[in-house]
Amino acid sequence: MNLAISPYLTTRLKHIIVSLFRKFGVTLSSVRQRALLDGALSTMLAELVAHQRLKKKYDGPPVACVIFSMDRPLQLAALLSSMREKSGPDVPLYVLYRASKLDFEQGYQSVFAWMADSLIFIHPEKNFAVDLRDVLASITSPSIFFLVDDILFTEDVNLEAFSRFTGEYIPSLRHGKNISYCYAGGVTMKSPQLSLVCDGLVSWDWCAEEHDWSYPLSVDGHIFPTAEIEVIARVLQYRNPNSFEQALQSFRSVFVGRPGLCFAKSRIFNIPANRVQTEYANRSGDISTQVLLAQWLSGHMIDYRAFYGIENPSVHTEYPFTLIARPSSRPIH
């Protein structure tokens, strides 16, 4: 089966559906067109995923993580350190990174040597879409989630146990009852309607909520079936993590019917201290990546433990961070 579907997937499907009905003299309302398109997307994805699971065994560790990073060695080191201290058991981490200059590459190599973690698999970026598809092809874990390099873990979490809900729900590490403000939109969010599932986990309906509570296809800590993401990554076009997340929204109608699932308190949050890409004017701070790189290379690191247990009001929060002297090797908490 050929998975090389046009990047204009949804537009072409809509055109095909409308054309077929016109041949039979049937006029469709926009609502009906949308419903038929959603059904076509769902059926197509289900067929491709079934084919994918026939040709590839997903018999690896229960869950794996892909981390996107660009010109942020110091922030990546804080993410990796907090993740290893606050989550368990250790899961495979695939770091797809881009260094725009030689000194950033030096910084990344220093981070990887400092971590000395056999479950971290390093992939320098040459062509983001090609590289991501290759990374996904190498992953045999049945569940997967993405992170970006300016995220920190703040609470303990068993990733393997949490990932068992994948498929029936969309488990989210970034949601919790503490999330009441949308940083990207600069607005307060209404309190979501949360239902107790089990062991302190709560669920919600993406369609009934707003802003961050209505965004199921995020690359910031949402857990998905690997086979689905692998297929979707092959049928869409994108150039970087931002456009990848944007492209994923073509399949929102397929995923929005699965309830979200989270802990009462969020397990991760994002400190948007700077912006490294230029295609999207995402809200962020303006701390120089070059300055932060110099701090890392001179033997400093973010005091990431200072954020453990913090009550962040948003999935993105511009907290100031303190730099401390870095030990010669990653400390074991």
Same-domain pairing of 126 and 50: no
Quick one: tokens of 104? Answer: 């950033």
Question: Of residues 179 and 2, which shows the higher confidence score?
Answer: 179
pLDDT at residue 270 in the model? 96
Which of residues 30 and 292 earns the better pLDDT score? 292
Euclidean distance between CA atoms 80 and 84, whole angstroms: 6
Label residue 22 by pLDDT band (50, 70, 90): low
The answer, yes or no, to whether residue 5 has pLDDT greater than 60, is: no
What angle, rounded to 10 degrees, do the helices at 102-115 and 73-86 form? 20
In a domain, 132, yes or no: yes
The verdict on 27 and 148 lying in the same domain is no
The answer on 50 and 70 residing in a single domain is no
Strands (E), 134-232: 143-148, 151-153, 157-158, 170-171, 181-182, 187-188, 195-198, 201-204, 223-225
**Could you read off the pLDDT of 296-321 as tens digits, one per residue?**
999 999 999 999 999 999 999 999 99
The reported pLDDT for the residue numbered 146 is: 98
Contacts of 303 (CB under 8 A, 6+ apart): 321, 322, 323, 324
Write the pLDDT tens digit of every residue in 206-220: 999 999 999 999 999
User: Which residues constitute the domain of residue 39?
Assistant: 9-55
The reported pLDDT for the residue numbered 23 is: 58
Q: Examine the domain organization and report whether 248 and 107 are in the same domain.
A: yes
The confidence score (pLDDT) of residue 331 equals 74
pTM (whole model) above 0.85: yes
CB-CB contact of 210 with 257 (8 Å): no
> Which pLDDT score, from 0 to 100, does residue 283 have?
64
- Shared domain for 79 and 185, answered yes or no, is yes
Q: Are residues 211 and 252 in the same domain?
A: yes
Count the helices and strands in the chain (H runs, E runs): 10, 17
- Taking 70 as the threshold, does the pLDDT of residue 25 lie above it? no
Same domain, 39 and 142: no
Instruction: Please check whether residues 242 and 268 belong to one and the same domain.
Output: yes
The residue from 55, 73, 93 where one domain ends is 55
Residues 6+ apart with CB under 8 A from 317: 183, 269, 270, 271
Shared domain for 13 and 152, answered yes or no, is no
What pLDDT is attached to residue 10? 60
- Here the CATH number for the domain that contains residue 90 is 3.90.550.10
d(CA 132, CA 52): 17
Number of alpha carbons in the 13 Å side-chain half-sphere of residue 177: 10
User: Is residue 86 within 8 Å of 173, Cβ to Cβ?
Assistant: no
pLDDT for res 280: 61
Instruction: Calculate mean pLDDT across residues 223-245.
Output: 94
110 lies in the same domain as 35: no
Please determine, for residue 69, whether its predicted confidence score (pLDDT) is greater than 90.
Answer: yes
pLDDT band at 7 (very low <50, low <70, confident <90, very high): very low
Q: Are residues 51 and 67 in the same domain?
A: no
Instruction: Tell me how many domains the chain contains.
Output: 2
Q: For residue 69, is it within any domain?
A: yes
Please give the pLDDT value at position 4.
41
State how far the Cα of 168 lies from the Cα of 172, in Å rounded to an integer: 13
Three-class secondary structure of residue 201 per DSSP: strand
Residue 98's beta-bridge partner residues?
Answer: 70
Residue 250: predicted pLDDT = 86
Same domain (yes/no): 163, 294: yes
Residue 38 lies in a domain: yes
Query: Whole-number mean pLDDT of the chain?
Result: 89
Is pLDDT above 50 for 1? no
